[in-house]
Amino acid sequence: MASTIKLSLGGYTIVFFITLLCLVVLVIGILIYRQIQRLRKNNARKEVNLTAANDVSESCRQNIQAKIQAVGLFKKIHYPKFTDCTMIAEHANTPYVHRMIAFDEVIRDVDRQLEVINPELARRPGQSTYAYLYDIKELALPELQTKFIERLSFLHDASRYRAQFAFGEEELAELRNLLREFVRM
């Protein structure tokens, strides 16, 4: 009882399969060509010269560097704060005033202080407090303990994101003690 499959290929079926095969070969050829061109373009890139205005005189370059440093100083001076006098007066009796203070103190005592000491220690955009402190531990402060990092980052993230949990004077006092300990390090 061996059954045989009878394959009937008509003219239209053969034309369809040949067209489909040509289309697949064409698409694969286009993809391979694009990858080759991408590789050539990436290999042909020159290394970027990072010095500011490398084709001008030394005095002009120093003038440009001074202006760049002035922009950095302006950024540090005019960094928005939630805890200036007018903001505290506006939000004095609100339940989130301790959160605002905690957020500003972590930014001031950890981020800005480390950025002033060494600009390479600046926090990357979108980096969590835990990841930032762990990077600081690996790069500059190996004496930071993991438990300390976890508690400080938990309190900072709780002040920023966890509105469902209470963040009052006790948590703010604990955060300030941790920040004092961090500044001593």
pLDDT tens-digit profile of 111-121? 777 777 777 78
Q: Which of 89-93, 128-132, 166-170 has the lowest mean pLDDT?
A: 89-93
Average pLDDT over residues 45-52: 63
pLDDT at 5 over 60: no
* 41, two tokens: 């373009």
CA proximity to 83, closest of 57, 103, 68: 103
Q: Which of 11-15, 80-84, 140-144 has the lowest mean pLDDT?
A: 80-84
Specify the pLDDT at position 92.
64
pTM for this entry: 0.52
Tell me the pLDDT band of 24, cut-offs 50, 70 and 90: very high
Specify the pLDDT at position 113.
77
User: Could you tell me which residues come within 8 angstroms of residue 122 by beta carbon, excluding any fewer than 6 positions away?
Assistant: 111, 114, 115
Alpha helices in 11-145 (DSSP H): 11-44, 58-77, 85-90, 97-106, 113-117, 129-139
Reported as type and span, the H/E element at residue 181 is helix 169-184
User: Could you tell me which residues come within 8 angstroms of residue 167 by beta carbon, excluding any fewer than 6 positions away?
Assistant: 96, 98, 99, 102, 158, 159
